[in-house]
Amino acid sequence: MSNKPPSTLRRLLLGGAFAALASLVLPGPAAYAEPTKNLRIGYQKFNSVNILKGSGALEKALAPQGIKVSWYEFAAGPQLLEALSTGAIDLGHAADAPSVFAQASGKSVVYLAAEQPYPRGIGIVVREQDKVADIAALKGQRVATGRGWNAQYLLAVALQDTGLSYKDIDPAYVNNAADAVAALQSGSVKAVTLWDPFLAAAEKQPGLKTLRDGTGLTNNRTFYLSSPAFADENRGVLKTFFTELGKVSNWANAKPKEVAALLAPQLGIGADVLEVASERRNYNAVAITPEITAEQQKLADTFQGLGLIPKPLKVADAVYPVSVLP
């Protein structure tokens, strides 16, 4: 078997490497003495923010206020949140685990809103030829994952659910989904943790299968985040952002085929892959409720218990106290 991922998956995964270069050309920190005139948004492949970018609706909504919009693509949540914390971007989205790790590392970021649960959008993937029957069969095996990934959290709770612990596997840490899948294809690991659209792409490849997704284990929410200073000075801009985001999210929920058609040429990803991922997702943003905060707290406590977060943290401290939803 070739060590290279099949062509469709390979194009998708390698795109993340080029996206990561965006961080090298981002503008420097901005001062927020007054409302911004250039809203800098970080996004990842296949998300409601990505769809909003493709629609052009936000630019039209903010133009009368003299506000421009700049977009920066990132390979994953940790890189996006690093840029947000340094002031290189103003607003972005990331999954639950990267958001907790950002708070744990002392980054100045706040939760603004969350998406609906998306448990089928993360998974633990294996090769059929390895005959891995269940999560328990991963005991003592190497598993490729990333530090602070939402799919790393899935791995931790899936092991707990079957009576094992994270210490019962040999984690092989990688920086991106491309490296994870390459390791699986080469046979150097028995499983990898992935998220959509990389998960959907892997599921379409012969010889690969999802051993377990997040159903019943984790809600796998996407969060919208900013810095406290930017949010304080730009609540009106943020309300406009979430208004336009809500419109495209409603459209995306109802039209997965159209979502795929919109994003496929933009991302260089097959429409069949994007349609699968879109059909199992609810894009709508909601306020951060005590229940959602409790979900995040459980995640933080789990990682802290594994020694991956050095000390306890209080997720509620990072929730922005003023609603910016329309």
Closest by CA to 248, choosing from 289, 285, 197, is 285
Give me the CATH number covering residue 201: 3.40.190.10
Question: Is 10 within a domain?
Answer: no
Q: Residue 34's pLDDT band (boundaries 50, 70, 90)?
A: low
Task: Work out the average pLDDT over 56-82.
Answer: 94
Same domain, 199 and 313: no
Instruction: Say if residues 227 and 87 touch (Cβ distance below 8 Å).
Output: yes
From residue 189, give the alpha-carbon distance in Å to each of 17, 64, 65, 185, 192: 21, 53, 52, 8, 7
pLDDT of 136 higher than 50: yes
Domain-embedded: residue 50? yes
Residues 6+ apart with CB under 8 A from 129: 1, 207
- Over range 90-106, report the average pLDDT: 94
Asked if 279 and 205 sit in the same domain, the reply is no
274 and 163 in a common domain? no
Stretch 117-139: mean pLDDT: 97
Same domain, 71 and 108: yes
Q: What is the pLDDT of residues 218-243, one digit of tens each?
A: 999 999 999 999 999 999 999 999 99
Query: 58 with 136, same domain?
Result: no
- Residue of 121, 146, 147, 143 lying closest to 132 (CA atoms): 143
Strand partners, 114: 223, 286
Domain containing 109: what range?
19-117+220-318
Tell me, yes or no, whether 111 and 226 share the same domain: yes
Q: Higher confidence at residue 77 or residue 60? A: 60
Q: Is residue 185 part of a domain?
A: yes
Together in a domain, 270 and 300: yes
On whether residue 150 sits in a domain, the answer given is: yes
Q: Tell me the average pLDDT across 19-25.
A: 40
**What would the mean pLDDT of 142-149 be, rounded to a whole number?**
92
pLDDT tens-digit series, residues 291-310: 999 999 999 999 998 888 98
Write the single-letter amino acid at 169. I
Do both 283 and 309 map to the same domain? yes
Banded model confidence at residue 279, pLDDT cuts 50, 70, 90: very high
Q: How far apart are the first and last CA of the chain?
A: 52
pTM confidence score: 0.82
How far, CA to CA in Å, does 119 sit from each of 124, 150, 212, 216?
12, 10, 10, 8
Q: What's the structural domain count of the chain?
A: 2
Last residue of a domain, one of 186, 213, 240: 213
Query: Considering the domain boundaries, does residue 188 fall inside one?
Result: yes
Is 50 exceeded by the pLDDT of residue 207?
yes
